[in-house]
A and B are shown apart, each in its own frame.
Chain A
Amino acid sequence: MNLLLTILVEGLGYASYLFIVSLGLTVIFGVLKILNVAHGAFYAWGAYLCAFLIGEFSTMGVSDLGTMVAIPIAALIVGLILGSAIERTIIKNLYGRDEVLIVLATFGLFLVLEDVILLVFGVDPYFAYQPTYAMPGVQIGGIHQDGYKLSMIVVSLVIGLISWAVLNRTHWGKLVTAIIYDSELAVAMGINVPRVFYTVFVAGAVLGALGGAYIAPTISVAPGFGVEVIVLSFAVVVIGGLGSIPGAAIGALLVGMLRAYAVLQWPEIELFVVYAVMAAVLIFRPEGLFAPAKARKI
């Protein structure tokens, strides 16, 4: 029972940041038809900038809880500045090109951005545990649970709900949904597609950076850690269905739980269980579990 609970909480915590990152990835794919490998770089940049800012704030005398403000700041800076710059210079020139070529281009971009991190932040790892000290632990079922991790679950829930509401309840969200459904028709309807693309890309970049910024206080932020998350996020969105928000949620939960279970109970399969599930989903439901509806063209 305790074990089950531990797996559940561990899995949820893991799923929550995977969901935030995957949400950005899947929305960008759904709208722009770009599988953005550089998303992993937004994540890494978010983490680095956040860890750096927390360190700075801390030396300025900000309280441990107060340093948490670095998380949204880092996410916004990375998303708005780096995300915009990349959309304007590179992504914009990729629209409509061969999907695989786009993946390769964003992969190139990812590699470049990863190394620029090293040039900017150096090769030494960053530690920024302050926010985790500020969060009180909670007793659930007699087990001590890390308060910061629980806050992450809440935040990801809120973000998921906000995204859902924006897409389903606002005019702008309906434009986006129309483009996901049929972008040619959207153009014909007079929707300013390039503008929507730009906004969605930047929003996705903010989400990617937020995932990184939120996880930063719980780990040592070191070179090359954006790689694992991008590959896992791919698994999440492929399992859930490229372009689907509920899919990203289910995919993240599935991957999070599987990993938590594997880590605690069956370490031999930890490294590949996610990929095995991804392969199985692709084989039996090639479009993923929750592929969004698309206009059928013959």
Chain B
Amino acid sequence: MALTSDRTTLGLTVGFVAVALLGVFVLPDWLLNQILVAFSRALAVVGLLVLWRTGLVSFGHALYFGLGAYTVALLGRNYGIGEVLVTLPAATLASALVGFLLGFIVRRYREIFFAMLNLAFSMVLFGILVKTEALGSTDGFNVEQPTLLGIGTDDAAVKLTALFLGVCAIGWLTAVLVHRYLGSILGSLTTAVRDNEIRVEYLGYSAAEAIHGKYVMSAALTGLGGGFMAISLGQVDPESMVNWTVSGELVFVTILSGPGSVAAPFIGSLIFELLRTYAFELVPYAWQLIVGGTLLLIIFFLPGGVWSVLSRLAGRRGVEP
């Protein structure tokens, strides 16, 4: 089995390097931009995937997405800090810290109550942001020009490529680490907790603590994703970063991707982004119809999400997914 896990790591590495190379040498800028946004969101979805495997769905992870985004944006506006090696870790840590504190409460809840409690928390943040002028109110504000080790650029194409490579690198690292985590003893306590908390307790481990840990992890990853999204879009506002619709999108992409692999969120996210772009062009008033219809189709006919289709196709050709 150790061999297989190495193979997955290898597969992830090959995949991300291939996307990075394609991006730099082949793909047009508009697609690069789409991948940038998609992978930013995918970081958050990886966090939700860990929760989903544990049997938990949060309708309020926009809380952490927004915390990450606003941490990055506020560091720039209030302190003039655009250094990504400061802003992104800060975004991750801020979300992880809030996740750690709220985790003491949410870990007592399951199913709908877990989902709704998270929704309530996220809407409180939304309400505060909308009504606070100092935090930009409904309009939000711009994000400081990002720099890496103090180096920045005004060339839009160079900046896009740099951000794209950055999201690929962080995406790869996240995927590999989370994959390793899922293969650990603690990682096996995802589906195990979902299946039977009583047995987990009677094997000598606290299900609540296991859930708490995964919650913090998902909060941190969602904060990282939100931080990257803020840098990618160059702007933060409550509607596009913290509202419940953002939580809904994260959950939708999680379901669309499927729980099968840590690579799935990146693929699912990209499909979501492309779908949205084309849907707006082709059928401007049917975006919700498409999202809702897709959700129903997946729940009824494709519970494994897009990943299950890909792995089945790959399996038929005898290729390791």
- Chain A positions near chain B (C-beta within 8 angstroms): 35, 90, 93, 98-101, 103-105, 107-116, 118-119, 123, 231, 234-235, 238, 242, 267-273, 275-276, 278-279, 282-283, 286
The proximity string for B residues 82-114 relative to A, scoring 1 for CB distances below 8 Å and 0 otherwise, is 000000000000000000000001001101110
- Contact status B131-A115, CB under 8 Å: no
Grouping DSSP codes into helix (H, G, I), strand (E, B) and loop, the B interface class, with mixed when no group exceeds half, is helix
Count the B residues whose beta carbon is within 8 Å of the partner chain — how many?
40
7 residue pairs A–B, Cβ–Cβ below 8 Å? A98-B111, A104-B57, A108-B295, A231-B123, A272-B124, A275-B119, A286-B113
Within the assembled complex, what's the spacing in Å between the Cα atoms of A88 and B140?
A: 45
Chain B residue contacts of A272, Cβ below 8 A:
123-128
Report the minimal beta-carbon distance from B259 to chain A, rounded to whole angstroms.
12
- Contact status B296-A109, CB under 8 Å: yes
Within the assembled complex, what's the spacing in Å between the Cα atoms of A283 and B244?
A: 20
Report the minimal beta-carbon distance from B270 to chain A, rounded to whole angstroms.
21
**Set A115, A118, A282: member contacting B113, Cβ < 8 A:** A282
Chain A residue contacts of B10, Cβ below 8 A:
none
- In the complex, whether B203 has a CB less than 8 A from a CB of chain A is no
- Contact status A271-B126, CB under 8 Å: yes
- In the complex, whether B285 has a CB less than 8 A from a CB of chain A is yes
- Residue of B at shortest CB range from A114? B288
- Chain B positions near chain A (C-beta within 8 angstroms): 56-57, 105, 108-109, 111-113, 115-117, 119-121, 123-128, 130-132, 244, 248, 251, 255, 285-289, 291-296, 299-300
- Contact status A103-B120, CB under 8 Å: no
Within the assembled complex, what's the spacing in Å between the Cα atoms of A118 and B105?
A: 40
The 7 A-B residue pairs with the shortest CB-CB distance, nearest first, are: A272-B127, A111-B292, A108-B295, A271-B127, A112-B292, A115-B289, A111-B288
- Contact status B127-A111, CB under 8 Å: no
Interface centre among B57, B115, B120, B300 (most CB of A within 10 A): B120
- Contact status B116-A267, CB under 8 Å: no
- Contact status A123-B285, CB under 8 Å: yes
Within the assembled complex, what's the spacing in Å between the Cα atoms of A80 and B24?
A: 57
Task: Tell me whether A275 and B120 are in contact in the complex, defined as CB-CB below 8 angstroms, given that A105-B295, A112-B292 are known contacts.
Answer: yes
- Residue of B at shortest CB range from A274? B123
- Contact status B111-A278, CB under 8 Å: no
- Contact status A104-B124, CB under 8 Å: no
- Contact status A279-B109, CB under 8 Å: no
Task: Tell me whether A111 and B299 are in contact in the complex, defined as CB-CB below 8 angstroms, given that A103-B112, A272-B126 are known contacts.
Answer: no
- Contact status B120-A282, CB under 8 Å: yes
- Contact status A108-B105, CB under 8 Å: no
**Set A107, A268, A270: member contacting B292, Cβ < 8 A:** A107
Task: Tell me whether A115 and B292 are in contact in the complex, defined as CB-CB below 8 angstroms, given that A100-B112, A101-B299, A231-B244 are known contacts.
Answer: yes
Report the minimal beta-carbon distance from B237 to chain A, rounded to whole angstroms.
14
**Set A99, A271, A275: member contacting B130, Cβ < 8 A:** A271
Task: Tell me whether A282 and B109 are in contact in the complex, defined as CB-CB below 8 angstroms, given that A111-B289, A235-B120 are known contacts.
Answer: yes
- Contact status B286-A115, CB under 8 Å: yes
Chain A residue contacts of B130, Cβ below 8 A:
271
- Residue of A at shortest CB range from B116? A238
Task: Tell me whether A108 and B292 are in contact in the complex, defined as CB-CB below 8 angstroms, given that A235-B120, A282-B116 are known contacts.
Answer: yes
Within the assembled complex, what's the spacing in Å between the Cα atoms of A90 and B56?
A: 23
Within the assembled complex, what's the spacing in Å between the Cα atoms of A197 and B315?
A: 42
- Residue of B at shortest CB range from A273? B127
Within the assembled complex, what's the spacing in Å between the Cα atoms of A37 and B255?
A: 17
**Set A93, A103, A116: member contacting B289, Cβ < 8 A:** A116
Given contacts A103-B57, A271-B127, A272-B128, 19 further A-B contacts (CB under 8 A): A35-B112, A90-B296, A100-B56, A105-B295, A105-B300, A107-B292, A108-B292, A109-B292, A111-B295, A112-B296, A115-B286, A115-B289, A231-B119, A234-B119, A269-B127, A270-B131, A272-B127, A275-B124, A286-B113
